[in-house]
Structure 1
Amino acid sequence: MELPFLTVVIPCWNEARFIEGFLDSVLGNTYPADRMEVLLVDGMSADGTREIARHHAIRDPRLRLIDNPGHSKPAALNRGIRVAKGDVIIRLDVHAEYPPDYLERCVRALVENPGADNVGGVRLSRARDDTLLGRAIAHSTTSVFGAGNSKYRTGAAGPQWVDTVFGGCYRRSVFERIGLFDEHLTRAQDREFNQRLRRAGGQILLVPEITCTYYARSDFREFCSWTVEAGYWPFKASRSVGRWIGSWRNVVPMGFVLSVATGAALSPVSRTARRATAGVLCAYAISALAFSMRTARQQRDPGLMLALPAVFLTTHVLYGAGSIRALLERQR
């Protein structure tokens, strides 16, 4: 079977630390060299990223550097899609590591499943810095307790239809049918696009045999800032586009924060509120400890029993706070 021509679109901005190894892995993959192009859409990086990319482009004409003033990620994706030559378009993230056959596996899965409009795999998670906190943050993003029913994070027993995947390998016809990514959304543009695709009758296939490794944030302040934004954007984006684009997993942290805050406020005057709040907190603590102990045992990393509960709590409180902020914020 002759594989279709593939365009790889990579949004990028100030990635000098990662870009060289990343480009080596993408250009050294098993996909037929004469059947692919790689578009690095750069937000006018000022840290040496562009110079590294130019040197790679000289050695390998498959790589093209495309300017993206303003470094907006959805704008980068759209710029790449507009000039893409491929019948299949795949989006990659610089902060991830892809096995040599990743592109070929994604495209073959798309070709072999005619009902699929978008195909993706499971995103494994690894700490950028090998510290206890870094490992705890990375494992929290792949835990059911930390990530809910997000199958591309937690994994699946076999191929299944899902609401979204990491990155995505799309038929070009999808963009011709439903349009491009919403450039008003600084984040959550993938989620919005995939939800729009499903509303139009499209289907998204998760194939767990396809994997990549994402390097999760290890700095605590950076992690906290990212988590607040992660909770904010599903609700902000939903208000912007006028429809709900999230899942129940996006609502749970907000419910947890609101229930505890309400219970704490009523506790001085209500025994029922005190008992209910204590019950919620006890159930949460038991669940967090149970998932932490299981992960620590699986990873043979005893320190996770102490670090993971704190990371889980931080994640859920900050995510919920971000969601509440989005709902209370005045629309512009």
Structure 2
Amino acid sequence: MSAPLVSVVVPCWNERDFIERFLSSVAEFDYPAFEVLVVDGMSSDGTRDILKDTDIVTLVDNPGHSKPVALNLGIRQARGDIIVRLDVHADYPPDYLSKCVQGLLDHPDADNVGGVRRSEARDDSLIGRAIALSTTNAFGAGNTKYRIGAAEPQWVDTVFGGCYRREVFDHIGYFDEALTRAQDREFNQRLRASGGKILLLPDITCTYYARSDYREFCSWMFEGGYWPFRASRAVGRWIGAWRNVVPLGFVLAASGGLALSPVSRTVRRLTAALLSTYGAAALYSAARVARRHQDPRLLVVMPIVFATTHVAYGAGSVWGILDPAGRR
């Protein structure tokens, strides 16, 4: 039996710092039958020149550089029976495609298969390392299995990238082009609502290069909290999970408690208890990370990154609920 053709769809825009590393990963794939469609948003930083100089990929133009539009353009031009979505900001081992396809073949009731995304810093600064580590820590990332890992295969609500059967798109449609972010989340929620299943296989791994700049990280976390609520309002249904609500609850409880503390002793005590408990949990998680990586400096930096994660994410969630632009 011949291997099914796999179409790899890759959204791309101004990725000069990562595209060559990504292409090197693709060139090492051991799967026997695949095509790679890089859908570029008319990059102006030299990315297109690099793409035009290689015969590894097919370059597809995406004039508006919208990510969901890029995904849909790539899927419509794809020839494969299996669609794999990859990200330029990651390295993939040679057997990545093979394991994804085998996962679908071994689990006929799975419509989307993915693995665990390990994170590394884009630079070797202390804050960059702390940010990368926070994205794979349960205190910072919640129960997102593709980030924190799993000991065995699990049915989940979403995975990183994803390896889809082609008929999924024929059945439920394409990515929502009105969503600048959260289009993967919305699509996978729609897939599950239609009876589809998403499987995480822990032996499928890749390495993602997380943001290392602190300001960029703050903005990324704010948008991360904004989009589940903004997108839910736009599509008229909840597309998130309980982990998306926890930072919102923390920010509302803490800010409300601080505002009311001057007029109520009970509120002061409850707020102090909340913040003390949070601080103790952050320090405990930071201590475990520092010990695992044998770097005592992380004991100081990790609580700051954890607090930034939860406060920025929670603040973004508040704006996602209130933003007048949230209504489609």
The normalised TM-score by structure 2 is: 0.98
Residue 97 (str. 1) matches residue 91 (str. 2):
yes
Find the counterpart in structure 2 of residue 248 from structure 1: 242
Letter in 2 for 1:197: L
Q: How does 1:172-321 map to 2 (within 5 A)?
A: 172-321=166-315
Aligned match of 1:68 in 62, 74, 98? Answer: 62
What residue number does 1:30 align with? Answer: 30
Measured in 1, the distance between the counterparts of 2:105 and 2:4 equals 9
Work out whether 1:133 is the aligned partner of 2:131. no
Residues 163, 194 of structure 1: 8 Å contact kept? yes
Partner of 1:99: helix, strand, or coil?
coil
Displacement of 1:18 after TM fit?
1.1
Name 2:38's counterpart in structure 1: 40
User: What's the offset of the Cα at 1:265?
Assistant: 1.1
Distance (whole Å) between structure 2 residues aligned to residue 165 and residue 242 of structure 1: 23
Q: CA deviation at 1:3?
A: 2.0
Q: Following the alignment from structure 2 to structure 1, what is the Cα–Cα distance between the partners of residues 263 and 22?
A: 58
**How many residues get paired?**
326
Structure 1 residue 24: Cα displacement: 1.8
1:79 aligns with 73
Counterpart of 1:3? Answer: 3
* 1:300 shift after superposition: 1.2
Alpha carbons 1:159, 1:207 under 8 Å: kept: yes
State the Cα distance separating 1:170 from its structure 2 match: 0.2
Identity over aligned pairs, percent: 67
Secondary structure of 1:218 counterpart = coil
Alignment of 1:162-177 (within 5 A): 162-177=156-171
Give the drift of 1:312. Answer: 0.3
Counterparts of 1:3 and 1:221, CA distance in 2? 45
SS in 2 for 1:194: helix
Distance, in Å, in 1 between the alignment partners of 2:298 and 2:318 is 29
Task: Indicate the residue corresponding to 2:51 in structure 1.
Answer: 53
Give the aligned CA root-mean-square deviation in angstroms.
Answer: 0.8
Separation of aligned partners in 1, 2:284 and 2:84 = 38
Shift of 1:302: 1.3
How far did 1:187 drift? 0.1
In structure 1, C-alpha distance between the alignment counterparts of 2:31 and 2:152, rounded to whole Å: 24
> For the residues of structure 2 that align with 1:25 and 1:281, how far apart are their CA atoms?
44
- Please tell me whether the aligned partners of residues 231 and 320 of structure 1 are also in contact (alpha carbons under 8 angstroms): yes
Q: Which runs of 5+ in 1 are unaligned?
A: none
Deviation of 1:248 after TM superposition, in Å, equals: 0.5
The alpha carbon displacement at 1:2 in A equals 3.0
Distance 1:155 1:283 in 2: 26
SS of match in other structure, 1:294: helix
Contact 1:3–1:108 (CA under 8 A) maintained in structure 2: no
* Paired residue secondary structure (2:176): coil
> Which piece of structure 1 moves more, 14-23 or 84-93?
14-23
